[in-house]
Structure 1
Amino acid sequence: MKLLIRNLNRTTTEAELLDLFEAYGAVQSLQLVRDEDANLSKGFGFVNMPKAGEAKVAMQNLNGKIIGGFKIRVKRAEDRVEETASDELDDTQAPDTDRND
């Protein structure tokens, strides 16, 4: 289960996040989102935990916890939906199949 962690102190490290979440189970991956130019944290990241039960316990225990002076928010990350070209067509763009030529 992929979790979104928001409102992180910009000085929080990936190692600190890993320690927090590993207390509740296995961590498959962890990504702290950074500003590419300054290489500083943007204050949020993602943790992927393979066992949903462990992820839920981590979410319940860490959401609202004060880390580095900031009250973090932890919730399930929503999957991005990729749009296809057919999804982008509206009725005015759809081919006219009712014409009698």
Structure 2
Amino acid sequence: MKILIRNLDRETTEQELTEAFEKFGKVQSCDIVKEKHNGLSKGFGFVEMPKPGDAKAAVKSLNDTMLGANKIRVKYAVDKAVDASQDNSK
């Protein structure tokens, strides 16, 4: 499952983020989104965990907790392509 992490401290590394999530299970991938022109963190990222139960435990436990100097917000990532295709109300 893909998890979205917002409000990351700009100094948080992918290694630190991975370690925080590994407490709940295997981390398949971890990516902090960075500015193209200077390589600095944009303050959010994604973690993928193969087991839904592990992902659920991580989201529940890590949301609104401190990581680095910031209180992070953790939720399931929504695939924009899938989300847009399911919106037939327009």
Give the TM-score normalised by the residue count of structure 1: 0.79
Q: Which residue of 2 aligns with 1:72?
A: 72
| Residue in structure 2 matched with residue 96 of structure 1 by the alignment | none
Letter in 2 for 1:42: K
Residue correspondence of structure 1 range 12-31 to structure 2 within 5 A: 12-31=12-31
SS at 1:81 equivalent? helix
**Counterpart for residue 36 of structure 2:** 36
Deviation at 1:13, TM superposition (A): 0.2
Q: Aligned residues, how many?
A: 85
1:48 aligns to 2:57 (yes or no): no
CA distance in 1, matches of 2:32, 2:72: 14
Helix, strand or coil for the counterpart of 1:11?
coil
State the match for 1:90 in structure 2: none
Q: Tell me the amino acid that sits aligned with residue 80 of structure 1.
A: K
**CA root-mean-square deviation:** 1.6
Deviation at 1:32, TM superposition (A): 0.5
Residue-by-residue CA offset, 1:17-73 (whole Å, 9 max, x unaligned): 010001100011111000011110000000000000000000011000011121100
Aligned AA (2:25): G
**What TM-score do the two structures reach when normalised by structure 2?**
0.88
Q: Which runs of 5+ in 1 are unaligned?
A: 85-101
Q: Distance in 1 between matches of 2:30 and 2:15?
A: 9
C-alpha separation between the residues in 2 aligned to 1:42 and 1:69?
Answer: 15
Match of 2:62 in 1: 62
Compare CA radii of gyration and give the structure with the larger one.
1
Instruction: Give the match's secondary structure for 2:20.
Output: helix
2:13, 2:50 → 1: CA distance? 22
Unaligned 5+ segments in structure 2 are 86-90
